[in-house]
Amino acid sequence: MADARTLSVDDSVSYSAGELRAMRDEFQRFLLEYQFGLREVETKIAILQDEFQLMHDYNPIEHVTSRVKSPDSIVDKVGRKGIEADFESIRAGITDIAGVRVTCSFVRDAYRLFDLLTQQDDIRVLAVKDYIAEPKANGYKSLHAIVEVPVFLSTGRVEVPVEVQFRTIAMDFWASLEHKIYYKYDSQVPGELLAELTAAAETAAELDVKMERLHRELHGDDWRTPRGRTASLT
């Protein structure tokens, strides 16, 4: 009897309770793929972190955070980008549904970890945006990579895109503050405050350079220095 009940949307589309449950279940399965893909990338990063600590007595990773976008956030982005509301279009049009942020000690560590992750033979790099080498106009810095990782389900292999961001502690602190300010002002941030944010980004960049120089004076130019970029940043 429950399946016979309907929900009308804009007086033009009606769904039975059973259809609504099926839509909910399909959305959950869709998000589950991204949760599993996220778990695969998190495991790879955790292995690198443990190996650094145990074998090299050095940990370039300060902390790792991750998230899968909420259904509401996905729906909002579908609307903003004008994407068709079907799962294949969402897969193609939104590549940051699953995201991992790796906060590193130094800029060189960010590049080193990017190389070590993307060189793994089951990882495919889809896109890279190097905002460390070329910061955004407001001073934002971070190395963004969209990677594709295989997930093996009972129904077969699925390739899942995951966004991975690499940044230093200073970059992360600045980005967190900027996000809070934009949220407080509903993205309408006063010009003088924007100027101060940009100046703060420059100060953070100077701090990164100074701290890395001090670190190299103490520990020398060892294996943590990348011997040359092995991935194309485009």
Which residues participate in catalysis according to the annotation? 163
Strands (E), the chain: 6-9, 13-16, 61-68, 98-104, 124-130, 143-153, 156-168
Q: What is the DSSP string of 159-226?
A: EEEEEEEEEEHHHHHHHHHHHHHHHHTTT---HHHHHHHHHHHHHHHHHHHHHHHHHHHHH-S-TTS-
Residue 165 region by backbone torsions, left for phi larger than 0, else alpha for psi between -120 and 50, else beta? beta
d(CA 222, CA 234): 27
DSSP state for residue 149 in the 8-state scheme: E
The neighbouring-strand residues paired with 200 are none
Query: What is each CA distance from 161 to 40, 48, 64, 85, 98, in whole angstroms?
Result: 11, 20, 18, 19, 7
Beta strand pairing call for 6-9 and 156-168: unpaired
Cα separation, 84 vs 39, in Å, equals 28
